């Protein structure tokens, strides 16, 4: 079956898709229990990976009507691919069978050999799906900042450790005071310090 569109990366078209491997992986965490076996409670899906070998030539046959003959096409496409890689941007990959969005190029090999010279190039490339999250800010109702049934302010506390083992604690009700930590007092009481 003849492809209806060329394979492309961010609109940069190639003459042929020689091969494509789509890799789906998952991790199942294992937790040991006292009964002597492991249990699992989740399946963690890894991002989709694809590996392709693309083909570009100065004298295309498959998509000749789109590209025509251009003696600098191989060099131009290779430079554009390198620029896409160096930009650190995600890309959209269109193949005859599927469209992959938010893909990051993880590996790109640009090589020349004596057999094809500057007229054609096979380009191995690997990409991985990038999932992007967004930070959101929300307003917390005043009722969550109150304590107990009276709804009084819960107060604030700040603790910093000094070299002597004491800590500074501040409270709205008692003001600033220097107190030794509970662990320091306990260790001193049993003669450890």
**Residue 66, pLDDT above cutoff 80:** no
Inside any domain, residue 137: no
| Whether 150 and 125 share a structural domain | no
Write phi, then psi, for 64 (nearest 5 degrees): -60, -35
Q: Are residues 118 and 170 in the same domain?
A: no
Give the CATH number, domain containing residue 50: 2.40.30.200
Q: Token digits for 189?
A: 């009481």
Predicted pLDDT of residue 166? 40
Last residue of a domain, one of 129, 164, 180: 129
- Of 129, 154, 178, the one marking the end of a domain is 129
Q: What is the pLDDT of residues 77-114, one digit of tens each?
A: 999 999 999 999 999 999 989 999 999 999 999 887 77
For residue 173, pLDDT over 60 is answered with no
Q: Which residues contact 69 (CB under 8 A, 6 or more apart)?
A: 58, 59, 60
Residue range 9-45, pLDDT digits in tens = 999 999 889 999 999 999 999 988 888 888 888 999 9
Residue 193 lies in a domain: no
Structure tokens at 162: 């000094």
Q: Would you say 120 and 47 are in contact if contact means Cβ atoms under 8 Å apart? A: no
Sign, Cα dihedral of 102, 22, 111, 14: negative
Residue 153 placed within a domain: yes
- pLDDT, greater one: 154 or 143: 143
Q: Could you tell me the residue range of the domain that residue 169 belongs to? A: 142-188
Write out pLDDT tens, residues 121-145.
899 999 999 988 888 877 776 666 6
Q: Considering only 54-63, 113-122, 172-181, which range has the smallest mean pLDDT?
A: 172-181
Two tokens, residue 173: 């009700």
Tell me the pLDDT of the chain averaged across its residues: 78
Alpha helices in 48-133 (DSSP H): 64-67, 73-86
Q: What count of other Cβ atoms lies within 10 Å of the Cβ of residue 49?
A: 16
Give residue 60's pLDDT. Answer: 73
pTM here is 0.62
- Give kind and range of the element (H or E) at residue 153: strand 152-153
**Residue bearing the bigger pLDDT, 156 or 178:** 156
Question: What residue ranges in 115-183 does DSSP mark as E strands?
Answer: 120-129, 146-147, 152-153, 159-161, 166-171, 175-180
């Amino acid at each position: 079956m003849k492809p209806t569109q060329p394979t492309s990366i961010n609109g940069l078209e190639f003459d042929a898709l020689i091969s494509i491997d789509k890799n789906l992986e998952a991790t199942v965490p294992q937790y040991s229990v006292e009964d002597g076996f492991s249990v699992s409670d989740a399946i963690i899906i890894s991002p989709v990976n694809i590996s392709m070998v693309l083909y570009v030539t100065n004298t295309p046959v498959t998509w000749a009507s789109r590209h025509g003959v251009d003696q600098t096409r191989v060099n131009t496409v290779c430079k554009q691919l390198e620029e896409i890689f160096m930009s650190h941007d995600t890309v959209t990959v269109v193949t005859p069978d599927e469209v992959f969005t938010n893909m990051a190029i993880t590996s790109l090999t640009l090589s020349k050999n004596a057999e094809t010279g500057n007229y054609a190039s096979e380009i191995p490339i690997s990409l991985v799906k990038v999932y992007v999250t967004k930070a959101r800010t929300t307003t917390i109702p005043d009722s969550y900042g109150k304590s107990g049934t009276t709804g009084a302010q819960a107060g604030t506390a700040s603790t910093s450790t000094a070299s002597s083992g004491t800590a500074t604690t501040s409270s709205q009700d008692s003001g600033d005071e220097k107190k030794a930590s509970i662990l320091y007092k306990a260790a001193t009481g049993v003669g450890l310090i």
